[in-house]
């Protein structure tokens, strides 16, 4: 039994809550994964993969944040997804990347070579199922975000983003106290603007406004405290506190 080599205690890099398909948590056929799994690290700002490039791996984020970004010829850009630790990247059965993947912060990814991974998927229906589930989740998140982009005001957009990051952060370090939520913004104002379909100036102004009105507290430019999560979510226009994730 090879399992011992790959169990959680042997893999300090991977967080326990590895939602993605991963040797440590999901696959008994560990022999099949030996040699096709590897780690890659990126510095903040580096491009993981360019839109249109050959994509010969799939994988999941171990630490750091990556973004999926689309760009028009004239330079307008829209972030179409945010990859937080445990999120999966890649398209089984797709040759090229449909958008740029950028390391927003320093980034560690746990990758699998694509071909063998696909083979494994063919012989392990359980993985295909898992992947389908995850893709459906992503689709829901994308569609939820369409409502944000299409119908919310700048202020609501900012509040929506903050509450997503807060919730996501809390679930990774699930010390869910009833008290204030504290986290560091992993995105620059510009990255937030690209995610929200705004300009960085508008982002800055709205954050200042939320701060002045006490909805959030700021220490420096990135360290955020949310004294009352309920209030933030009201600002976001969300009714359901039902957990949609990025």
Which residues in this chain contact DNA in the complex, by CB under 7 A?
153-155, 185, 188-190, 197-205, 207-208, 218, 220-222
**Of 20 and 203, CB closest to DNA:** 203
User: Edge to edge, what strands does the sheet with 88-89 contain?
Assistant: 37-42, 107-113, 57-63, 88-89
- If we measure between CA atoms, which residue out of 13, 137, 63, 139 comes closest to residue 23? 13
Which among DNA, a second copy, none contacts residue 190 (Cβ within 5 to 8 A by kind)? DNA
- Chain centre distance of CA 243: 14
Lookup: tokens for 37: 């799994």
**Of 47 and 124, CB closest to a second copy:** 124
Say what the alpha-carbon torsion angle 46, 48, 52, 58 is, to the nearest 10 degrees.
Answer: -170
Q: Which residues pair with 39 in a beta bridge?
A: 110
Rule CB under 8 A: which residues touch a second copy? 68, 70, 72-74, 76-78, 80-81, 91-94, 98-99, 122, 125, 128-129, 131-133, 135-136, 138-140, 142-147, 149-151, 196-197, 237, 239
**Of 56 and 71, CB closest to a second copy:** 71
Which among DNA, a second copy, none contacts residue 205 (Cβ within 5 to 8 A by kind)? DNA
**Whole-number minimum distance, CB 81 to DNA, in Å?**
20
Which among a second copy, DNA, none contacts residue 145 (Cβ within 5 to 8 A by kind)? a second copy
Which among DNA, a second copy, none contacts residue 84 (Cβ within 5 to 8 A by kind)? none
Q: What is the DSSP letter of 96?
A: B
Pairwise CA distance, residues 24 & 5, whole Å: 9
Which among DNA, a second copy, none contacts residue 215 (Cβ within 5 to 8 A by kind)? none
Strand, helix or coil at 47?
strand
**Whole-number minimum distance, CB 217 to a second copy, in Å?**
27
How many CB atoms are located within 10 Å of the residue 152 CB?
18
**Of 19 and 157, CB closest to DNA:** 157
**Whole-number minimum distance, CB 151 to a second copy, in Å?**
4
**Whole-number minimum distance, CB 135 to DNA, in Å?**
30
**Whole-number minimum distance, CB 84 to DNA, in Å?**
18
How many CB atoms are located within 10 Å of the residue 50 CB?
14
Q: Is 32 exposed, middle or buried (0-12, 13-18, 19+ CB in 10 A)?
A: middle
């Amino acid at each position: 039994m090879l399992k011992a080599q790959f169990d959680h205690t042997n893999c300090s890099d991977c967080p326990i809550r590895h939602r993605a398909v991963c040797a440590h948590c999901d696959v008994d056929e560990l022999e099949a994964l030996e040699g096709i799994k590897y780690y890659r690290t990126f510095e903040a700002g580096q491009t993981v993969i360019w839109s249109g490039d050959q994509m010969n791996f799939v994988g999941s984020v171990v630490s750091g944040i990556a973004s999926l970004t689309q760009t028009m010829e004239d330079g307008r850009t829209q972030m179409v997804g945010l990859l937080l630790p445990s999120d999966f990247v890649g398209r089984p059965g797709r040759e090229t990347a449909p958008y740029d993947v950028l390391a927003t912060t320093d980034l560690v990814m746990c990758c699998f070579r694509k071909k063998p991974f696909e083979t494994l998927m063919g012989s392990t229906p359980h993985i295909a199922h898992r992947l389908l589930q995850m893709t459906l989740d992503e689709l829901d998140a994308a569609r939820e975000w369409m409502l944000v982009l299409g119908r919310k005001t700048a202020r609501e957009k900012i509040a929506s983003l903050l509450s997503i990051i807060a919730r996501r952060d809390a679930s990774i370090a699930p010390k869910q106290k009833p008290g204030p939520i504290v986290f560091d913004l992993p995105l620059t104002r510009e990255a937030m603007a690209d995610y929200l379909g705004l300009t960085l100036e508008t982002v800055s102004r709205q954050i200042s406004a939320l701060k002045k009105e006490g909805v959030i507290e700021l220490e420096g430019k990135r360290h955020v405290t949310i004294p009352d999560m309920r209030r933030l979510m009201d600002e976001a226009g969300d009714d359901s506190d039902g957990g949609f994730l990025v």
